[in-house]
Structure 1
Amino acid sequence: MAAVALLAARPAPAPGGPARKAGPLPAAGWRVRPHSLRSVPPPGVAGRGGARAARPTRAAMGGCDLFALDFDGVFCDSCGESSLSAVKAAKVRWPWVFERVDAAMEEWIVERMHTLRPVIETGYENLLLVRLLVEIQIPSVRKSSVADGLSIQEILENWSKLLPTLMDEWQEDRESLVDLFGRVRDDWLENDLSGWIGANRFYPGTADALKLSNSELYIVTTKQSRFAGALLKELAGVDFPSERIYGLGTGPKVKVLQRLQEMPQHQGLTLHFIEDRLATLKNVIKEPALDKWNLYLVKWGYNTQKEREEAGAISRIQLIDLPDFSKQLK
């Protein structure tokens, strides 16, 4: 469809109460440029030409660095997949809202989602953004008090305030949206693996940096772990240990970092945390117990020029570009 053609052609952007049952998931309606993939081997069985196992860590070899690494916006540009999955999930959640949404409007929504991606902390928020964009365009389906006249820039600047307002006015709950977003992604992955994988991409050089690193590496992400693991294996070609992926449900990132630094095997290591969200790094700075962490904001992820400039004025945070990232992981 037009939205997917847009994704394939556009350049990379600069820089989830009890779950209620939803209706049946729609058949995959998007077609993404084919991606060369092996079939997924059974658990514990290496496929022919399969993903490369992680190299021995520097700690095991007498090294001294530990890296906690965000996933989306650091390794993986998942905005195409998350935006398309959000449209699918939003259609299931609020079918009456999407009765008048045609292909052209879906294309407009996906385009705006690329611009709005920096405000997303957890995947389910994509669904709320998708519905908000529809309410901005179609007054007859409007149920929120904030949509009338709301601009994209105002969303970027005020999302932390808009989010709880929308959740309240639409009578939504976080866990229900998280569950739906995960099920839609699972359905897409199961029925169209190459299409799901192909809607993602790794930033240039990051997969190689991961493969070649001898440091102690952990993924610390708000993405559900199974999706991060699938992308690492099928797109980056790395069998990254699942026990080293701290995904959605493992606790706030500040708590994960504290757990990592307290592990006996990590004592004496130099600690590094690499993120693309300035707000997350600010939360780390607020915790005195995390003062030992060296903090980095990537220049290529889901953040804005204004945020990068703000980070540059904070002595605790180092800005890092792609070439330096590869050197840092050693």
Structure 2
Amino acid sequence: MSKQSPTILALDFDGVICDGMLEYFQSSKRTYQKIWGSETCNIDDLASSFYRLRPVIEIGWEMPILIRALVLETPETEMFNNWSNICQKIISSENLNPKEITETLDAVRDEWIRTDLQGWLKLHQFYPGIIDKLSKVLHSSTQLYIITTKEGRFVKQLLEQQGINLSENAIFGKEVKRPKYETLRYILEIKSEIPKNIWFVEDLLKPLQLVQKAADLEGISLYLAAWGYNTEAIRDSLAHEPKIKLLSLEEFTEEFAKWP
């Protein structure tokens, strides 16, 4: 293995490999309707705002809450600047349970997949060049892992539709119930690797910062996917995060030696 290539490449799924924005909104809309019932407003009219605000979401169950915040006419600027508090306020004031929202969202997806698999799959678009890159990695000595807050079964199904066959042991989804930095630690332990041999690509800054704070993970190469669900302000903030590199989609699809 060249020192210019990782032994292990760990990737987030949504916002790095796959753009599921259309599916996010439709699944969130269906979940919203199950929780809150009919509304006087047309939820479809909120789609463009939902797409713009998607970068504030850290965990899937927050997506129906985002629609709720839009229905309640919460200003977009306020949500960009203070989403966590707004989300928790809605949860508290409306006596909601994140676990129950998660179960409802998963049930919506399960039913959709069961009754209209092709329709569900069509709402997911893989970023240009991503599938070719994954195929090359799978045919190399670099080991590929997916670390995501999406259900692993959904990830596996979507990848298989594109001819990318990963074992269940290589996909760490929401069901593992642990932060991404702990999953990286686990992978390093089971593979008996050292941090400098693993590269991690994520489109959210917070998970990268948490890896950076873990002393035993120092040396992992950290990359923020510029094409994912983040904002220009987040990308600009990397000027103060020298150990986290901004990675373009073009760079991602290149040979590892050409990465920042």
Please indicate, yes or no, whether the TM-score normalized by the shorter chain is above 0.5: yes
State which structure, 1 or 2, has the greater radius of gyration over its C-alpha atoms: 1
Quick check: 2:146–2:171 contact (8 Å CA) kept in 1? yes
Structure 2 residue 88 is matched with structure 1 residue 164:
yes
Which residue of 199, 205, 210 maps to 1:278?
205
The change in CA–CA distance for 1:288 and 1:179 in structure 2 (over 3 A counts) is same
1:119 match: 56
**Deviation (angstroms), 1:174:** 1.4
Q: Report the number of matched residues.
A: 251
Name the CA distance, whole Å, in 2 between partners of 1:262 and 1:305. Answer: 35
Quick check: 1:68–1:274 contact (8 Å CA) kept in 2? yes
Quick check: 2:195–2:220 contact (8 Å CA) kept in 1? no
Per the alignment, in what secondary structure is the counterpart of residue 238 of structure 1? coil
After superposition, residues 14-163 of structure 1 pair within 5 angstroms as: 65-95=7-37, 98-101=38-41, 105-136=42-73, 150-163=74-87
Per the alignment, in what secondary structure is the counterpart of residue 239 of structure 1? coil
Quick check: 1:64–1:268 contact (8 Å CA) kept in 2? no
Deviations 1:216-268 (A, max 9, x none): 1100000111111111111x321121111100031111110111111244358
1:304 match: 231
**Deviation (angstroms), 1:297:** 0.5
**Deviation (angstroms), 1:166:** 1.3
Name the CA distance, whole Å, in 1 between partners of 2:232 and 2:195. Answer: 35
**Deviation (angstroms), 1:64:** 5.1
1:245 match: 171
**Deviation (angstroms), 1:120:** 0.9
Which residue of 116, 123, 130 maps to 1:199?
123
**Deviation (angstroms), 1:312:** 3.4
Deviates more, 1:299-308 or 1:170-179: 170-179
Name the CA distance, whole Å, in 1 between partners of 2:256 and 2:114. Answer: 33
Name the CA distance, whole Å, in 2 between partners of 1:303 and 1:99. Answer: 30
Name the CA distance, whole Å, in 2 between partners of 1:270 and 1:205. Answer: 24
Per the alignment, in what secondary structure is the counterpart of residue 253 of structure 2? helix
Q: Percent identity?
A: 32
Name the CA distance, whole Å, in 1 between partners of 2:95 and 2:164. Answer: 41
Listed as ranges, the gaps of 5+ residues in structure 2 are none
2:109 match: 185
Listed as ranges, the gaps of 5+ residues in structure 1 are 1-57, 137-149
Name the CA distance, whole Å, in 1 between partners of 2:35 and 2:28. Answer: 10
Quick check: 1:312–1:319 contact (8 Å CA) kept in 2? no
Name the CA distance, whole Å, in 2 between partners of 1:279 and 1:314. Answer: 12
TM-score, structure 2 as length reference: 0.91
Aligned AA (2:218): D
Name the CA distance, whole Å, in 2 between partners of 1:195 and 1:158. Answer: 34
